[in-house]
Amino acid sequence: MAVKPAVKKRVKQLRSEIEEHNRRYFVDADPVIPDVEYDALMDELRALEEANPELRSPDSPTMRVGERPSEGFAQVEHSAPMLSLDNTYNAEDLRDFDERVRKLIDLDTVPYVAELKLDGVGLALRYEQGRLVLAATRGNGRTGDDVTRNAETIDTVPKMLRGDGRHAPVVEVRGEVYLTYEGLAQMNEGQEERGDRIFANPRNTAAGTLKMLDTSVVATRPLQFVPFQLLFPERHGVLSQWKALAYLREATFTIPPHSRLCTRGIEEVIATVEELQNLRDSLPFGTDGVVVKVNEFEWYDSLGTTSKSPRWGIAYKFPAERKTTRVESIFLSVGRTGAVTPIAFVEPVGLAGTVVRRASLHNADEVARKDVREGDTVWIEKSGDIIPYIVGVVKEERPKSAKKFVMPDVCPVCGEALDRPDEEVVTRCINPSCAAQVRGRMIHFASRNAMDIDGLGAKVVDTLVTEGFAKSIADVYRLKHEDIVNLERFAEKSADNLIAGIDASRNRPLDRFLHALGIRHVGRTVAELLAGAFGTLEALRKADVESVAAVEGIGPVIADSVVHFFSSEGGRALLDDLLAAGVAPAPVVRGESVDGALSGKRLVLTGTLPTWKRSEAKRAIEGAGGKVVSGVSKATDYVVAGESPGSKLAKAEKLGIPVLGEGELMELIAGGGA
């Protein structure tokens, strides 16, 4: 039986919405819905895919963990996938989990370890001969960001191991990077003194800090690390999770506080969960639950994993604090990318240590599903004590005057028509000159990873826009000292510094300029690919979809977005205005091809090489005329494999592509053949 069009449409919508939430959580560190609602979306998508197998796809969020690695960092392959645990929200689910485990390993009673689930971000560490050599974020579960330099600034990440780990050839540890409440308060004191934006919560701040490109700033922030897994424990003669924690403690890690070994079965686990939940308010850090793991490693293989989660563990999530309040108004917020988000302004209510005055309603479908109206009394929670959200409406208290919310057809700021593709849940204003977008784009344009305009932060942008000195990004480049010296926050020197910062940015490299434009789907990595392929802004402006999509690493979706921007009236006007204001992005100078032993050859690096770092091997290959590419295909000439090579090695063997070790690569570069 053919799949109904309505089902196909719903699957597309769910995938689009989940991908957006994945990006916000794993990449932007700015989630907007609670875990329980995210899990409900995933459950609905999984059920539709199971009922309609022909709709399954390897690209579906149900088949993957996390999100793509961030831009601006080297990417590294994890030696084993970093999987997420399944979540549960009640004791009965814990009992069901225990029953499944006992059936699979045929035991009456299973010992478990219960550990507090700290509210932070995952980090993988690799030590060789006791020395830290690599730290990587979770990324998409298989590939993450190399943040070694940032991790080295964290006091609780040992640079050298002690105990048995000191002399082990390789020790791999996974854990959580987090901030204490006191650490966040100290950071915010400094932010207030400098007049900078206050950080909203520990988890998002820790995630954003770990992915900063300026290590000197990371070093000033009090990040903490706790381990939760010793990878490949059999290498070290460690047979259980409880003994793994002892091994890590001896190696000088700070293990998760209040960890418990529960040897009397699941009822002891449930009692421990309740005890830890009661401790929650007295802890110096954020925690949103308890992780329950089978203690004995010998059973892990029998229990196995799904595509996303191991079957030997589960995360019990604490319930969120819930209160009622009244919706005063529903306001539409227009972001930098044009996304139009309904926001509920509510009567102030104390919740999880803060006063809540507003809550995102996410999109028109969400407002309709919950039927939230102005004047309604609503239940409000904070997911993970971070994100305020409306759980539901107290319908019996609804005033007769309450009217249904209707998403308008035009932007509430600029009056242009709004657009919502069938397969997406986000409604967008597609007018790039929209005033609400200008502010967000201006902040992004001036940011460190884009045009890096020193002195042009969020508060300065607010002042310039409010006072009418900057109605577009290009207006920034027309500012004069006398325009701004008498504005709030400015004096002679600060005005001079801002003008100098603006002038210094006029000739930034093309890739930075492309990233700064805020074209949808074009981050730093895509901007570098475009700049490298086309060389100049003029060449890229003339390119069609086919030529953009032909660039390695760029597909049709990104190509459509790029060409649409450069061909749209608003995009053309913005570029012409910037060029007229004196912005001249520096073209990419593409050097002559190197004539060497690897001229014209495409190589893939995978795994950890014995002596060379990945960057060193890449430089050596390029110095011999070769090119390092990320994916294995029929066009690949060689795959260079080290320890823990992952799936790329298997694909190379399947395609019959020659596989080299480090020594063979050195011989090949030296001209000795392989």
Phi-psi map region of 365: left, alpha, beta (phi>0 left; psi -120 to 50 alpha) = alpha
Cross-strand partners of 339: 428
The amino acid present at 289, given as its one-letter code, is G
Among residues 117, 243, 370, 382, the one annotated as catalytic is 117
- How far is residue 651's CA from residue 635's CA, in Å, rounded to a whole number? 13
Taking alpha carbons only, the member of 446, 475, 468, 470 closest to residue 458 is 446
Tokens standing for 316? Answer: 């019990």
Alpha helices in 159-229 (DSSP H): 181-194, 202-210, 215-218
Alpha helices in 117-172 (DSSP H): 148-151
- Contacts of residues 548-557 at CB distance under 8 Å and 24 or more positions apart, as own/partner, are 552/629, 553/525, 553/526, 553/529, 553/630, 554/526, 554/529, 554/530, 557/521
List of residues 6+ apart from 318 with CB closer than 8 A: 277, 280, 287, 288, 289, 290
Q: Is residue 272 within a helix (H) or strand (E), and if so which, with residue range?
A: helix 266-279
Instruction: State the greatest distance between any 2 C-alpha atoms of the chain, in Å, as a whole number.
Output: 85
List of residues 6+ apart from 194 with CB closer than 8 A: none
List of residues 6+ apart from 361 with CB closer than 8 A: 330, 341, 342, 343, 344, 367, 370, 372, 390
List of residues 6+ apart from 10 with CB closer than 8 A: 48
Per the annotation, the verdict on 117 as an active-site residue is yes
CA atoms within 13 A on the CB side of 270: 14
- How far is residue 497's CA from residue 329's CA, in Å, rounded to a whole number? 41
- How far is residue 322's CA from residue 380's CA, in Å, rounded to a whole number? 6
**SS (HEC) of 77-119:** ECCCCCCCCCEECCHHHHHHHHHHHHHHHCCCCCCEEEEEEEC
- How far is residue 152's CA from residue 141's CA, in Å, rounded to a whole number? 22
Cross-strand partners of 351: 354
3-state secondary structure of 39: helix
Distance of alpha carbon 389 from the chain centroid: 21
Q: Which are the catalytic amino acids?
A: 117
